A and B are shown apart, each in its own frame.
Chain A
Amino acid sequence: MNDPSSSRTIDSALRQPEARSTPKVLRWSRDVTPPVLLMLFVLATWHVVSLRSGLSAFILPSPTQVLQAAWETRDLLGPAIGTTMIETVIGLIVAILLGIAFAAAMDFSSFLRRALYPILVTSQTVQILAIAPLLIIWFGFGLLPKVIIVVLVCFFPMAVSTADGLASADPDHVALLKTMGAKRSQIWRLVRLPSALPSFFSGLRIAVTYSVVGATIGEWVGGSAGLGLYMLRSKNALATDQVFVAIVITSALSIGLFALIYFLERALLPWYYSAQRTEHWEGTGIF
């Protein structure tokens, strides 16, 4: 199989992704080791600097102090994480549905595309910090204004990437389907939607990384619960270590969501990722 001359015969040219020389565990550790090492190095440097520099814990708490603060406030953190995640997930789902609806509308007619595109761009340029207090005034201190902020932040990447994805459908594929006598709805289902999936997921990856931050901004501006409020109270109490706790947890939640989407994407679009892999020269023995 590795002999290049054997690919002359038609049937033996099937490339087998699993026949690559590096075992899976090794490849995984090759991907994971560098960032882990770097993280450990940064943490160690942070620890040494905070201990040796003479800066007070109020200016720069050490990583262990941050951990300790997290442990001490665990009764507050649990419900706060819960509240923030509920807002985030609801906002994300609404943003995804709205994004798909906008993208479909823009794909459906160029009139709608012209009408909607400026609104889309505007939605992204609106100052969240300015509009957040307004939303609080209009909708109170509950769930709704935070969900709206998450939607505002996430809707744009979803709509734009899905619209681009739908537009990226190969016109030759569409023409081929037409020669088969396919109706417009069939062309949509069989060609346009699947073509849009990779781009849709790229948008989703961007959206999830914004979403948690969006929710916490809403809580910071006017919340009765959640990580944003925890962050605000910690800042007001000059509890720097707890501010760090909030930062770390917000990031961790974002990374968790990102990872979830990443694995979902690989599970749902095997054709896309395997194709990319074979285009690179991995497994040919050249690298």
Chain B
Amino acid sequence: MNVPKVELRNVSKTFFGARRQIKALENVSLSVEPREFVTIIGPSGSGKSTLFNLIVGLLEPDTGDICIDGDVCQDRISRVGYMPQRDLLLPWRNVVDNVILPQEVLGTPHEIARKKAFELLPLFGLDEFADAYPFALSGGMRQRAALLRTILSEKEVMLLDEPFGALDALTRKELQDWLLGVWRKFNQTFIFITHDVEEALYLGDRVIVLSSRPGTVVHSLEVNLPRPRRQGMVALPEFGQQVSELLEKLGVSI
């Protein structure tokens, strides 16, 4: 049997505030196979971002284990690439200097890092904007730059936290298709948070549904759509069926 790329066993996390404590996650168990594209969906406040901060290693769970590649359970930091909701491009660096940031942190010589970046810029539609500062870019371009930065961290696992949440619907669809292309090309394992049911189904091999606080896994759904995905597939009856199934699990009356 395959060793799961990412595995969480009975993970719980509670935050202690000034007056009260908030139980963010309770007994979360899930595993993600190598090169799988898993989407995680849940109502706001279901601890999705906490889940990512735990997997990345910014936080440690109160109870339970989080393992990468089966054996890296401690010191997970810098084992996974993380793309947060906000693009978080550094405003004082142009596009190239932003995307080589993870390489720079790892100590890769500047020339080599820049060379790698320039090779990938065209794929990300950024070749003409290598020297542009982030303020001059559109929202979609900024997200693509942020994803390129994550890809260039050269990790086998990518965590994407609602990367398209702030984009308009059209740009969003464009970027979804393009993201699937990137996923196929780089053979990485993707975990993608969203609170858009259709986006979760359209992108994922599998959709994991979290409950509202304290977040726990209430459902896991194998997506019933062939690859490669096409935007037209959202009109298929099985797509509609799975949308209702997910909405039901999320507690939305249909």
A190 touches B82 (CB 8 A): no
Looking at A8, A179, A182, A275, which has the most chain B CB atoms within 10 Å of its CB? A179
When chains A and B are docked, how far (Å) is the Cα of A191 from the Cα of B104?
Answer: 13
Question: Which of B90, B106, B136, B171 has a CB less than 8 Å from the CB of A15?
Answer: B136
When chains A and B are docked, how far (Å) is the Cα of A182 from the Cα of B153?
Answer: 12
Question: Which of B93, B101, B136, B174 has a CB less than 8 Å from the CB of A180?
Answer: B101
Q: Which residue of A lies closest to B175 (CB)?
A: A10
Q: How many residues of A sit at the interface, in one of the four size bands?
A: 20 to 34
The stretch from B24-32, B125-133, B187-195 touching chain A is B125-133
Q: Which residue of B lies closest to A10 (CB)?
A: B140
Whether, in the assembled complex, B112 has its beta carbon less than 8 Å from a beta carbon of chain A, the answer is: no
Q: How many residues of B sit at the interface, in one of the four size bands?
A: 35 or more
When chains A and B are docked, how far (Å) is the Cα of A182 from the Cα of B220?
Answer: 35
Binary flags per residue of A168-179, CB closer than 8 Å to B gives 1, else 0 = 001011011111
Binary flags per residue of A47-88, CB closer than 8 Å to B gives 1, else 0 = 000000000000000000000000000000000000000000
When chains A and B are docked, how far (Å) is the Cα of A275 from the Cα of B135?
Answer: 6
Residues from chain A with a CB closer than 8 A to the CB of B92 are: 194, 197, 269, 271-272
Q: Which residue of B lies closest to A197 (CB)?
A: B92
Whether, in the assembled complex, A45 has its beta carbon less than 8 Å from a beta carbon of chain B, the answer is: no
When chains A and B are docked, how far (Å) is the Cα of A272 from the Cα of B90?
Answer: 11
When chains A and B are docked, how far (Å) is the Cα of A157 from the Cα of B104?
Answer: 33
Residues from chain B with a CB closer than 8 A to the CB of A173 are: 88, 90
Looking at A11, A176, A275, A278, which has the most chain B CB atoms within 10 Å of its CB? A176
Q: Which of B63-109 contact A (CB under 8 A)?
A: 77-78, 80-82, 84, 86, 88, 90-93, 101-102, 104-106
Q: Which of A245-287 contact B (CB under 8 A)?
A: 269-272, 274-275, 278
Whether, in the assembled complex, A23 has its beta carbon less than 8 Å from a beta carbon of chain B, the answer is: no
Query: Are A8 and B170 CB-contacts (below 8 A) given A13-B138, A191-B90, A271-B91?
Result: yes
Whether, in the assembled complex, A122 has its beta carbon less than 8 Å from a beta carbon of chain B, the answer is: no
Residues from chain B with a CB closer than 8 A to the CB of A172 are: 84, 86, 88
Q: Shortest CB–CB separation between residue B75 and chain A, in angstroms?
A: 10
Whether, in the assembled complex, B166 has its beta carbon less than 8 Å from a beta carbon of chain A, the answer is: no
Q: Shortest CB–CB separation between residue B56 and chain A, in angstroms?
A: 5
Query: Are A272 and B91 CB-contacts (below 8 A) given A15-B136, A176-B84?
Result: yes
A14 touches B132 (CB 8 A): yes
B82 touches A177 (CB 8 A): no
Q: Shortest CB–CB separation between residue A252 and chain B, in angstroms?
A: 33
Q: Which residue of B lies closest to A193 (CB)?
A: B92
A275 touches B133 (CB 8 A): yes
Binary flags per residue of B231-242, CB closer than 8 Å to A gives 1, else 0 = 000000000000
Question: Which of A170, A182, A197 has a CB less than 8 Å from the CB of B88?
Answer: A170
